[in-house]
Structure 1
Amino acid sequence: MPIQPYLFFEGRCEEALGFYRDALGAEIVALMRFRDNPDGLYGPPGSEEKVMHAEMRIGDASVMASDGGCTEATRFAGFGLAVTLADEATVDRHFAALAEGGEPRMPPEKTFFSPRFGVVVDRFGVQWMLMVAG
């Protein structure tokens, strides 16, 4: 029973998808706008071009995303996305990309459990924990 993260960007989903494509090499494998819904518009008025549902692949992981209610009030709290990467240079590269416009919480460094571990909150408020397997 796989569990997949589903992130709601409240009006900034398309921007976020492009950011993750550039920062992490995410591949957008599905994207449906509210206007594409065959059952009619479920989003708030004026949201026809907003993202109703999207799926991106980051490495072997699938992350779903949406503009949700388009409230412009995105709040991500109480969780983080952990990514295990191949080597220290890749951790540093992805950390720098995610930190652009975001907030580094713990710069990548050696820890007791990983040769390279760092924590960053990106410009959308999503917390990322990047590491090399220990």
Structure 2
Amino acid sequence: MKVQSYLSFEGRCDEAIGFYKKALGAEVVQLMRYSDAPAQAPSGNADESCSGTMPSPDKVMHAVVRIGETEVMVSDGRCSGRAEFKGVMLALTANTDAEAHQWFDALADGGQVLQPLMKTFFTSSFGMLNDRFGVAWLLVVAQPS
């Protein structure tokens, strides 16, 4: 069994993918736009703003992004413009404090720091933030076993 995260950016998926490429070195493994759907499938409308019942053809219907060893699925969803990621955090485990700081600073750009990176009783660096898209992240440095 495999459990994966699926994030709906509600119209900002291309922007989010670009951000995670830059911030975390993410790699696009698969990307399908609504225009890639067969003709008999619901296809979007010409509304570039995503305000119609179906997203515009240029929006991301489904994508898989690899971040480190993990694949995260993403899409534009219904393009409501209101992405909400309540009650869920993505956790990044760094090997070093320098790596944790690099990722934390990159993800915090345009976002909101909830807990600055700090030393705790269980690790040398721990922090939490919401990135510019509202995705919550927890960063921690792995401790040697």
TM-score (norm 2): 0.88
Could you list the runs of 4 or more consecutive aligned residues of structure 1 that deviate by over 6 angstroms after TM superposition?
none
Q: Compute the RMSD of aligned alpha carbons.
A: 1.2
What's the counterpart of residue 20 of structure 1? 20
Q: Which runs of 5+ in 2 are unaligned?
A: 45-52
Counterpart check, 1:64 vs 2:65 = no
Question: Cα deviations across residues 6-28 of structure 1 (Å, max 9, x unaligned)?
Answer: 00000000000000000011011
The amino acid that maps onto 2:24 is L
Aligned to 2:106: 97
SS at match of 1:92: helix
Count of residues in correspondence between the two structures = 134
Partner of 1:36: 36
d(CA) in 2 for partners of 1:62 and 1:45? 26
- 1:7 maps to 7
Q: State the percentage of identical aligned residues.
A: 51
Q: Deviations over 1:50-106 (max 9, x none)?
A: 000000011100100000001101111001001111100010011011111000111
Candidates 57, 66, 72, aligned match of 1:48: 57
- SS of alignment partner, residue 104 of structure 2: helix
Instruction: Compute the displacement of 1:46 (Å).
Output: 5.2
Q: Does the 8 Å contact 1:35/1:41 carry over to 2? A: no
Q: What SS does structure 2 have at the residue aligned with 1:114?
A: coil
TM-score by length of 1: 0.95
Residues 109 and 132, structure 2, Cα contact 8 Å, conserved in 1? yes
CA distance in structure 1 between the aligned counterparts of 2:5 and 2:25, rounded to whole angstroms: 17
Structure-2 residue corresponding to 1:119: 128
Q: CA contact under 8 A between 2:55 and 2:78: conserved in structure 1? A: no
Matched residue, 2:47: none
Structure 1 regions of 5+ residues with no counterpart?
none
- Which deviates the most, 36-45 or 72-81? 36-45
